[in-house]
Structure 1
Amino acid sequence: MTEEKMTENTEETVKDSEVTEEASEETTEQEAAAGEDKDGKKSIFGKKKSKLEEKIAELEDARMRQLAEFENFRKRSEKEKGQMFEVGAKSVVEKILPVIDNFERGLASMPEEEKGTPFADGVELVYKQMLGALDEIGVKPIEAVGQEFDPNFHNAVMTVESEELESGTVAEELQKGYMYQDSVVRHSMVKVVS
């Protein structure tokens, strides 16, 4: 190839690259005018773009509020369900306690000659089984005798005098009190030293 032809080819290549650059700049300007950014993605100008962003932010805020409301509703429902279960369990325990009291009275009033018989042993086994079942679900008797009187757990029905115990101490338990988990189902009926 001759030198002249090489020079002509080089000049044509330079001109072609200049034309390509100019076309590229024009295309970028046209894309921007048409609403396209450098990556070829559509974008919305000024007010339209800010309105769209505001709407997106508003919808996102509404979505987050709904999620928070749902979470609060779920927690409140679980708490109410737990409270309803506890109230129901306490109600059942309250109905069983008189049966326990009658077992205790029956066993206490049993004559000595009948103790140790199969019938007496059977009654005692049923009584212990009921106490075990109550213990498993969280029902515990309230300690009373020898304890300081506490109106949260004890119901004083009588006062007695005693030289052995201090004033304000429970001297005798007339009826057992019971707790279900952390709440009192029935207060202990007691005699208190005055």
Structure 2
Amino acid sequence: NEISILCDPLSDVENGIRNLIKEKINIEYEFYKFKEQYEIETRKFLLELIEVVDAFERLFNIIKTKEETLDQQTKIWIGNFRTIYRLLLRTLKEFEILPIETFIGEIVNPHIHNVVEVVEKPEQESGTIIEIIKKGYIWKKNLLRPVDVKVVKNE
């Protein structure tokens, strides 16, 4: 009887410890799932924000060709858009979202470049970047979006 009296409290403690261990494992798993989902949602948001940057850049490229024909009020609006664009770029930089530096003439790097078009140019080496179609970005030293490029491919 003395043994059973001693065993019951010990088994209760043992069961309590088992339950705490299970609870800890469940909490760690839930935290891992939350963290993973947070990363996915944050990445999605950042990619959408970069699309806004792309839209501004397309707008400014179009405006560049017509700038001399614009009236004063339109130029003021464009100046305001440029200010918003700079604020957006500064915000991206503060959150460690940086454009990937890519130059015409360099060789394509499959880790950071996405080849969207190839052309034949016998005077250039295969794999040479001849046009940057869309900027790529890194986020906290990880690839967020690759650079879309046009490259030379000779047979």
Q: Same fold (TM over 0.5)?
A: yes
- Could you tell me how far apart the structure 2 residues matched to 1:143 and 1:62 are? 58
Of 17, 31, 36, the match for 1:64? 17
**Residue 18 of structure 1: aligned partner:** none
- Per the TM alignment, residue 184 of structure 1 is displaced from its structure 2 partner at its CA by 3.8
2:134 to 168, 175, 179: 175
For 2:98, give the aligned amino acid. K
3-state SS of 1:109 partner: helix
Deviations 1:62-100 (A, max 9, x none): 111222122222222222222222222222223233321
CA deviation vs aligned residue, 1:48-69 (integer Å, no higher than 9, x gap) = 2322333333222211122212
Amino acid at match of 1:106: L
Return the alpha-carbon distance in structure 1 between the equivalents of residues 115 and 45 of structure 2.
25
- Measured after TM superposition, the shift of residue 162 of structure 1 is 7.3
**How big is each residue's C-alpha offset from its partner over 1:87-116, in whole Å with a ceiling of 9 and x where there is no partner?**
2222222323332112101212223535x9
Against the structure 1 CA distance between its residues 171 and 120, is the aligned structure 2 distance closer, same or farther, given a 3 Å change threshold? same
> How far does the alpha carbon of each residue in 1:131-178 deviate from its partner, in whole angstroms, 9 at most, with x for none?
1222223322233336543334321022344757x5434342101122
Structure 2: tracts of 5 or more residues without a match: none
C-alpha separation between the residues in 1 aligned to 2:122 and 2:80? 39
In the superposition, the TM-score normalised over structure 1's length comes to 0.61
Aligned length: 145
Bigger relative contact order, structure 1 or 2 (CA pairs below 8 A, ≥6 apart): 2
State the identity %.
Answer: 26
Q: Note closer, same or farther for the CA distance 1:50–1:150 as it changes in structure 2 (3 Å cut).
A: farther
Cα offsets for 1:12-53 (capped at 9, x unmatched): xxxxxxxxxxxxxxxxxxxxxxxxxxxxxxxxxxxx232233
Q: SS of the residue aligned with 1:149?
A: coil
| 1:169/1:74 CA distance change after superposition, 3 Å | farther
- Aligned partners of 1:192 and 1:65: how far apart in 2? 60
